[in-house]
Amino acid sequence: MSSTSGAHLSREFFDLIKAIGESRSKQEEDRIIAREVLTLKNKLHPWKKQTTAPSATAGAAQTNQNQHFSTKKKQKEFLVRLLYVEMLGHDASFGYVKATELAASPNIFHKRVGYLVCGACLSPEHEFRFMLVNQMQRDLNSSNVLENCAALLAVTRVITADMVPAVCGDVTKLLTHSNETVRKKAVIALHRLFQLNPEAIPAHEFVEKLRRALCDRDPAVMGASLCVIESMATHDPSPFKDLVSSLVSILKQIIEHRLPSDFDYHRMPAPWMQMAILRILAILADGDAHASSECYEVISDCLTRADVGANAGYAVVYECIRTITKVYPNPVLLDAAAESISRFIASRSHNLKYLGVTGLASIVEQHPKYAAIHQLAVVECLEDRDETLQRKTLELLYKMTNPVNVEFITDKLLSFLEATTDMFLKRDLTNKIGTIAERYAPNQEWYVRSITKLFEISGELVSPQIAHNLMTMIAEGEEDESEESNMSLRKDAVELYASLLENSTGKNMPKVLADTVSWVLGEYAYLSTEYNLSEILEYLCAFAKRRGPFALSSTRRFLISAIMKLVAQLGTCPSSAASVIDEFSKSSDTDLQQRCLEFQNLLTNASSILGTVLPVDASCEDVDAVESLSELDWFVAEARANGALPYSRPIDEEDDAEYLAGRGRVKSVQINITPYEKPKDPREYKVDLNRNAPRLTPGQGSTYEKARHSPSDSSSSFVATVPEVAPSISEPSLIVRNVAHVWGKPVPPTAPAIAPSFSLGSSQPPPTPTHGGPSSQSGYGGWGEKSSVAQ
Amino acid sequence: MPIAFILMVNKQGQTRLASYYQWMNMVERVALESEIIRKCLSRSELQCSFVEYRGFKVIYRRYASLFFIVGTTPESSTDGSKKVYENTTNELGMLEFIHTMVETMDRWAGSICELDIMYQLEQVHFLLDEMVMNGYIVETNKSNILRPLDLLEREAKKDESLFNR
């Protein structure tokens, strides 16, 4: 189609596009679009126009057909302009209705435009999507191939999970259509439906159809099925394991140029299909030696033939490299892959360098020896100004980490972390640093220092588990290390944190860091040789007084504990500490308040036992809880004598089993495998509704009788007893005390005094049967079906 | 691996075509488009054509005044388990796919230019729909792509001339 440069467009549209094209700033563009929106709105509802047109013409416009939409062509153009408006960031929801209308047009072009706008603009919750389902069904079943295609495309964009069952069958039918374009689209559409609602299509059926599509006589359909297989194999490779041989043979045919020549691209036959197959093979043969052995030959072939010197070829080579690293290792292939990687890294093109670095990263995890020769090149890439290349090299470094180079690599990663502002990268790097530090730390001092640095830079992103591990490590130390080295570790930590505190007056500290610092200082401050206890105490107090987003209650609790421990060790309480404790004893956090008040109490009343309460370096000792506390019995006896109630133990449902076991009634926890009894015939089921009779007022009982005596109906469906029968509590009963409504029937204002007593459960003779079968007139269905009741 | 969006944005940051395969509301889209183009513009010719942006792997290529940008995401889990898969997109393969796209448009329009895309927006969308469906690359064979498009246009013309609609 030759470029007509807008001759087919209306003047308005042409001007619009010209204006957009020539606009020089975002504001100008916004103005143009806003004007366009007004124009479009007026087109839609000309009778709402606010101009000075006399009402006669407005009325005329209303009675005639909307002349702006007299031709479908104009409607189509309206929609394209709508698309423009939305594309440039303005809302055009007033026109969505027109889009759904146009999707019903018999002109295939207009239909496609209608579907296009709907698919692009309607949000997933929009109710118009439902309006299209009918139209899509019609188009799916049409005999016109183009309409089928249009509908299949719409299916992938417009359908949501609850609409899947409506179109599922029609799409499945199209899988066997005679036209290959339709089949190709049907494969993808069905996959989309499966993605939205996996229950609507049974998985094994879908896999069956997929396999048939793979063997389709048309390569395009086969190509489409490859995408779907790749997607599904990523989630679960097991249904496709036996496809390895078919895929290998397909790949062979492709690289031997057996496909029609128009599948070639720059002398490479169907490169994207090759890449897809390689990826699928990587997934299926991962960890599977037998499957991998089937692939080796074809991968090697592919690698050799892909070397044509064009980008398409390099892309296939890269995919081969990735596949080689994922399948069961084969030394010949690995060498070949390593050689290709070297060529990539040495290349001058940044894109190829990128591929080389990524390829190296994937190979080096399992086979670190290949990394050695490239060290210089890797460092070069790290220093490169290209940010993407730097990031990829960081990933490579991360994979290359071993106990020898961990310090260097951690330093590099930390420096990058400091420099970046991208949140995704920060989170990624934080996780990476945490992992390698824990895994490869050469010694504990280094670990403490690195983790502290990590906390400082990106503490908010660190998982609290790491902080906890750090504290545990400091407290317990290494088992095989001597006590002195543990102590020196703690001393180092203390010096580090004390200096941190000292220098942190201006900056904010992330929570994990603050917690760790406080705890360590509280426990081990006495070990420090550079700072004395009172100095550290001062720093802690100054820190505690800080306000701001980092002054969390949980951090303050750590601080207060630390301050208390230090005061205990010092023996005296300096004024700064006292003022801090005073301040926090009025805190809104009850935990904090409690600690402060307890501490104040201890200080004033029992300062001698401070040492026992807050012992030095006892964080690892267990605290024995004394259950009986017999020393306090006198207190209890006194209180009881004054009328206090005995302690009633709260019943904790989760501990029921233990509780009952303790009480001698052990619940068995065996699974009951006997089948339940068959439900009894309701006619045999004797129900005594008034079992709780003593609690009922006399009038209540009559409610049922009243219902029983409901007009024209002597066939009561439920029974009542006069409340003389003593209740027997053997089955769970319905407490009907103060029931105002009986299944919808209002309570009678006065209670009738007499009522014949009726009971199925009692020994009185049953009422004469008045009806043959079960009937339910009043609320209680067929309960107490009396006629053929056996007693 | 699946494509999340395909954009054609010019140097001034004006979007000429936007096709999203993953629903994003208007505000997100506008923000995404402007940030990505800014990122691509700040890179020099010699640097990689690949960028990472907010968890998307973005591959871009510049043709005269127009940037072709493709953003990919990893496979997402269907059973709601929120399992995170690795993004296995072959970046160079995607770069070449962009080139195929441009070559196809070239063949269709007889030397494509930015103005062509603007004046025939819906047809460029149709062309793209033939190549990418649900975020997967389904067709790269130019004849297979252009054949249905020709058919479509012929049908449309037939319809128009007969009934003058």
pLDDT tens per residue across span A236-260: 898 999 999 999 999 999 999 999 9
Tell me which DSSP letter residue A760 carries.
Answer: S
- Look at residue A748 in the predicted model and tell me its pLDDT: 55
Confidence at B163, pLDDT banded by 50, 70, 90: low
Residue A378 CA to residue A408 CA, distance in Å, equals 14
Q: Which of A84-88, A211-215, A657-661, A668-672 has the highest mean pLDDT?
A: A211-215
Hey, is the C-beta of A181 within 8 angstroms of any chain B C-beta?
yes
Handedness of CA A760, A766, A767, A768 (dihedral sign): positive
Is pLDDT of A284 > 80? yes
Average pLDDT over residues B53-72: 92
The lowest-confidence range among A293-297, A300-304, A423-427 is A423-427
Q: Who has greater pLDDT, A506 or A117? A: A117
User: Count of alpha carbons within 13 Å of A757, Cβ hemisphere only?
Assistant: 14
pLDDT more than 70, % of chain A: 73
Structure tokens, B70: 């493709």
Does the pLDDT of residue A113 top 70, yes or no?
yes
Q: What is the mean pLDDT of chain A?
A: 77
pLDDT tens profile A421-446: 878 888 888 888 888 888 888 888 88
**What pLDDT is attached to residue A186?**
95
| Per-residue pLDDT band at A706 (split at 50, 70, 90) | very low
Minimum-distance CB partner of B155 among A108, A230, A235: A108
A645 CB-near residues (< 8 Å, 6+ apart): none
Most confident of A76-90, A120-134, A266-280, A596-610: A266-280
Residue B6: exposure state from Cβ atoms within 10 A (0-12, 13-18, ≥19):
buried
Dihedral of the alpha carbons of A445, A450, A452, A457, in degrees to the nearest 10 = 170
Give B128→chain A minimum CA distance, Å.
11
H/E/C letters for each residue in chain B? Answer: CCEEEEEEEECCCCEEEEEECCCCCHHHHHHHHHHHHHHHHCCCCCCCCEEEECCEEEEEEEECCEEEEEEECCCCCCCCCCCCCCCCCCHHHHHHHHHHHHHHHHHHHCCCCHHHHHHCHHHHHHHHHHHEECCEECCCCHHHHHHHHHHHHHHHHHHHHHHCC
Span B80-86, mean pLDDT? 74
CA–CA separation, A134 and A375 (whole Å)? 62
> What's the confidence (pLDDT) of residue A754?
44
Q: Is the pLDDT of residue A661 over 60?
A: no
The closest of A290, A282, A294 to A321, measured between CA atoms, is A282
Identify the residue among A25, A86, A87, A121 best suited for mutation to test binding to B, counting B beta carbons within 10 A and taking the highest: A87
Instruction: Summarize pLDDT for A724-783 with one digit per residue, the tens.
Output: 444 444 556 666 666 665 565 555 554 444 444 444 444 444 444 444 444 434 433 333
Chains A & B: contacts with CB separation below 8 Å: 209
Strands (E), A319-430: none
Asked whether the beta carbons of B67 and B75 are under 8 A apart, the reply is no
Q: What is the DSSP letter of A621?
A: S
Q: Which of A344, A345, A248 is nearest to A301 (CA)?
A: A248
Residue of B46, B144, B155 lying closest to A350 (CB–CB): B46
pLDDT at A83 over 80: yes
Q: A500 is written with which tokens?
A: 């941190």
Cβ–Cβ below 8 Å for A1 and B153? yes
Strand partners, B136: B133
- A599 or A212: which carries more pLDDT confidence? A212
Closest CA to A533 of A487, A500, A566, A510: A566
Those residues whose C-beta lies under 8 Å from the C-beta of residue A307, and which sit 6 or more positions away, are A313, A317
Question: Which of the residues A272, A326, A343 would you substitute to probe the B interface, choosing the one with the greatest number of B C-beta atoms within 10 Å?
Answer: A272
Instruction: Spell B109-138 as b/e; 16+ CB within 10 A means b.
Output: beebbbebbbbbbbbbbbbbbbbbbbbbbb
Residues whose CB is less than 8 angstroms from the CB of residue A179 and which lie 6 or more positions away in sequence, other chains included: A145, A148
**How much is the average pLDDT of A624-647?**
75
With CA atoms as reference, the chain A residue closest to B49 would be: A351
- What ipTM, to 2 d.p.? 0.94
B36, B47 Cβ separation under 8 angstroms? no
The per-residue pLDDT for range A346-388, each reduced to its tens digit, is 898 999 999 999 999 988 888 888 887 888 888 888 888 888 8
Q: What is the DSSP letter of A608?
A: G
Give the closest of B25, B111, B119 to A5, CB-based.
B119
Q: What's residue A478's pLDDT? A: 61
Mean pLDDT on A333-344: 92
A positions 56-95 inside 8 Å of B (CB): 71-73, 80, 83-84, 86-89, 91
The pLDDT tens digits for A56-79 are 444 443 444 455 566 777 888 888
Express each pLDDT in A264-276 by its tens digit. Answer: 998 899 999 999 9
Instruction: Give the distance from residue B60's alpha carbon to the nearest chain A alpha carbon, in angstroms.
Output: 12
Return d(Cα A312, Cα B97) in angstroms, integer.
9
For residue A245, the model assigns a pLDDT of 92
Does A312 sit within 8 Å of B85, measured CB to CB?
no
pLDDT computed for residue A193 by the predictor: 93
Residues counted in chain B: 165
Find the largest Cα–Cα distance for chain B: 55
The residue that leads in pLDDT, B27 or A770, is B27
pLDDT at residue A693 in the model? 46
The shortest CB-CB distance from A311 to any of B30, B92, B109 is to: B92
pLDDT confidence of residue A358:
92
Mean pLDDT, rounded, for A113-121: 91
Residue A520 has pLDDT above 60, yes or no: yes
Which DSSP string do the residues of A690-748 spell out, in sequence order? Answer: TTTGGGS-HHHHHHHHHHHT-TT----SS----TTSPP-TTS-----TT---BTTBPPP
What's the pLDDT score for residue A611? Answer: 66
Question: Is the CB of B122 less than 8 angstroms away from the CB of A113?
Answer: yes
At A399, is the pLDDT very low, low, confident or very high (cuts 50, 70, 90)? confident
> For residue range A465-500, what is the model confidence (pLDDT) as tens digits?
887 888 887 777 665 566 777 777 777 787 888 777
Residues of B in contact with A21 (CB under 8 A): 114-115, 118
Q: Is it the case that residue A710 has pLDDT exceeding 50?
A: no
Residues B76 and A28: their CA atoms lie apart, in Å, by 39
- Please state the φ and ψ torsions of residue A643, each to the nearest 5 degrees: 105, 10
Chain A residue with the nearest C-alpha to that of B119: A6
The answer, for A227 touching chain B at a CB cutoff of 8 Å, is yes
Residues within 8 A of B (CB atoms), A 397-456 only: 424-425
What tokens appear for A413 in the block?
């990663």
Please state, in angstroms and rounded to a whole number, the distance separating the CA atoms of residues A182 and A145. Answer: 7
Contacts of A20 in chain B (CB under 8 A): 14, 118
Considering only CB atoms, which chain B residues are within 8 Å of A15?
A: none
As a whole number, mean pLDDT of residues A312-323 equals 94
Which range, of A134-143, A546-555, B62-71, averages the lowest pLDDT? Answer: A546-555
Higher per-residue pLDDT: B72 or A675? B72
A10 → chain B, closest CA residue? B119
- pLDDT of residue A316 exceeding 50, the answer is yes
Burial (0-12, 13-18, 19+ Cβ within 10 Å), B59: buried
